[in-house]
Amino acid sequence: MPRYALKIEYDGGPFNGWQRQAEGQPTVQGAIEAALARLEDGPHTIAAAGRTDAGVHGLGQVAHCDLAKDWDTFRLMGAINAHLRPSPVSVVACALVDDTFHARFSAVERRYLFRLVTRRAPVTHDRGLVWQVGHDLDLTAMRYGAAHLIGLHDFTTFRSSMCQSASPIKTMDEIEIEERGYPDGREYRFSLRARSFLHNQVRSFVGTLERVGAGAWHPEQVAEALAAKDRAACGPVCPPQGLYLNGVGYPVDPFA
């Protein structure tokens, strides 16, 4: 059976996360599998590079599927998208891959983006797409705090109690924080890169660094929280709506 890799965008707001759940619960995986079933008799099961929570968005999610028919990749992308309407999910690239390719296990890097907006007036056009706070933030302090999280660490403090990962030890390759203009406010973009992430790790990082930027935490307290290896030492976990799975890296880019 031919195997196809799919690059997927989605607005996570209407969905109860990526992973297929009990009937009646809308999920991104469920929407795509239903679209595939209208192309070929199913059932179909797709595998993704990462499972995003309810409200989390995708800009560069990657999944793979096995189909009976030899599809032209351009036509397959269009056919899936036609059957996805009107759900806010879109296949933006499709590639024929070797049957050894696995969207999750072949991945060597995952990239996340978090958008945080500081503004007094409620956002309108980005409602559900950013986390908004009403106070100013200190970019330099947040960058100092984030520096403590780079490298190989035991991230127990920043790990959800529901995390299913076998180990809390991960290597954080990069955390960049960029400040840019936003109508009547400022936007802070957190870009994070690692081979893999723990459940709620990014939201725990950003929620803690927001406290640093607001002046409630000193940057050195991030190092202390990390060393504590205690979930109770974490700052508040921020809401999901500003979080995006931004991209997935493979030894060879299937979409190149």
The catalytic site residues sit at 53
Tokens found for residue 25: 């619960």
Tokens found for residue 147: 């520096």
d(CA 186, CA 116): 8
Q: Which residue has the tokens 């998208």?
A: 81
- 43 within 8 A of 232, measured Cβ to Cβ: no
Q: Strand 243-249 to strand 57-66: parallel, antiparallel, or no bridges (unpaired)? A: parallel
- 76 within 8 A of 4, measured Cβ to Cβ: yes
- 151 within 8 A of 172, measured Cβ to Cβ: yes
Tokens found for residue 34: 């239903």
DSSP sequence for 177-234: EEEEEETTEEEEEEEEEES---TTHHHHHHHHHHHHHTTSS-THHHHHHHHHT-GGGS
CA distance readout (Å), 168 to 75, 157, 194, 228: 42, 9, 13, 13
E strand segments, the chain: 3-10, 47-48, 57-66, 89-97, 109-118, 131-133, 151-154, 169-182, 185-194, 243-249
Q: Which residues pair with 94 in a beta bridge?
A: 6
